[in-house]
Structure 1
């Protein structure tokens, strides 16, 4: 029955790749491969306290188009594919840390305005998909909704890195008691300036003991760093 409904939906609303627009899968193989390149996210100016964060791909071209299609343009069917990318980023960032604890994905909560405009918590959707992928791969993983937002923040579009940090200061608070065990991995769809992850990681870090594993980060995509000195490795 599910396959019949899917076939009917394809007739009424033919599927196209959210990355390049060719007919077929929700994300074609060529565009999908762009989300299998885990790398450390590198904001142009690292905020103090920015957690070690891995992105599955670069936030440009087809990847940017796919993320925006899922987030803003009514393509929720991309959740599984982007969730798989988030799982890859999570597995990559925890691979460099010696631990025996379960991996707890902490979704960055939406702003009230974002939740109203989209009608859904898209980061939590990605988190659930990523947790399912990690468990299927044998990783002890779970979701931990440890954060909530308070107050109002401006839309970050057009703000400088410093303005983003000031805009988010004091935004996040704990939603409840933090677990005594677990490797905490903050997850979001995209990292640009690093301000959101830095502010959220600071709140989570205050729940950790001195010798605890630091808070990590994982995202679907990160804005590429264009600084010439960085690209030369200097």
Structure 2
């Protein structure tokens, strides 16, 4: 009956890929492949103290609408493929620290985001990622260690230093007893400047002064760094800046 219901639902509301819009699963194979090659996330201006961060893919192309569909448009079925992508990113850390328990620490949402969406999207992704990691034999879990302590103003238009100052003291750490030798991995859906991850990691590290509990980070996608500006060929008789060659040579 469940399969019949899903088939009837597809007739009324055909499923499409949240990334490219083609009919089919929530995230088609081609779009999912864009989240299949984890890489280091390196913001253009790396914040001091940013934890080593792995992203499953770039926040560009079809990945952008897929993440937005999950967070902003209620497509909860994307928790599977996006959670699996996050699990692959966390798995890079697990491979480098074999045998140690890996605890995924989701960044808590702001009150405004929780009211608007009605759900904790990052926590859902973290739980799905931990499930995938355990299925692959990695001792992983999801733990709510972080809470938000106050209101933060909109960070749009702020520099990296201003973002960090804006976030200072934002996170508090719950007094939870951790397994011996645990590795903490702060997780989020997207990293842009790295300021939020850096502040969260600093809050966690401050409660582990012995340094025995590494604090790392992983995300579904990272905003790609802008590449060098392309050099355009100058018109005949002109320098690369477009000024006439004759006028500059006569100076």
TM-score range, shorter chain: over 0.9
Matches of 1:132 and 1:2 in 2, distance apart?
23
Match of 2:68 in 1: 68
Q: Which moved more, 1:155-164 or 1:104-113?
A: 155-164
The answer to whether the Cα contact below 8 Å between 2:101 and 2:179 also exists between their aligned partners in 1 is no
User: How is 1:1-234 mapped onto 2 (pairs within 5 angstroms)?
Assistant: 1-97=1-97, 99-181=98-180, 182-228=182-228
- Structure with more relative contact order (C-alpha pairs < 8 Å, separation 6 or more): 1
Matches of 1:88 and 1:101 in 2, distance apart?
17
Deviation string for 1:172-227 (max 9, x for gaps)? 00122352521111110000000110000001111224341420101000001125
Matches of 1:39 and 1:72 in 2, distance apart?
26
TM-score by length of structure 2 reads 0.86
CA RMSD of aligned residues (A): 1.6
Partner of 1:61, secondary structure, is coil
Matches of 2:157 and 2:70 in 1, distance apart?
22
Matches of 1:10 and 1:160 in 2, distance apart?
45
The answer to whether the Cα contact below 8 Å between 2:94 and 2:100 also exists between their aligned partners in 1 is no
- How many residues align? The count is 228
The answer to whether the Cα contact below 8 Å between 1:53 and 1:219 also exists between their aligned partners in 2 is yes
Match of 2:247 in 1: none
The answer to whether the Cα contact below 8 Å between 1:148 and 1:172 also exists between their aligned partners in 2 is yes
TM-score by length of structure 1 reads 0.92
Structure 1, gaps ≥5 residues long = 230-234
Q: CA deviation at 1:10?
A: 1.1
Larger radius of gyration between Structure 1 and Structure 2: 2
Match of 1:232 in 2: none
CA separation of 1:172/1:15 partners in 2, compared to 1, >3 Å: closer, same or farther? same
CA separation of 1:192/1:88 partners in 2, compared to 1, >3 Å: closer, same or farther? same
Q: CA deviation at 1:73?
A: 1.2
Matches of 1:138 and 1:96 in 2, distance apart?
15
Q: CA deviation at 1:7?
A: 1.4
Matches of 2:137 and 2:26 in 1, distance apart?
27
Deviation string for 1:99-133 (max 9, x for gaps)? 53211000000011110111100000001100110
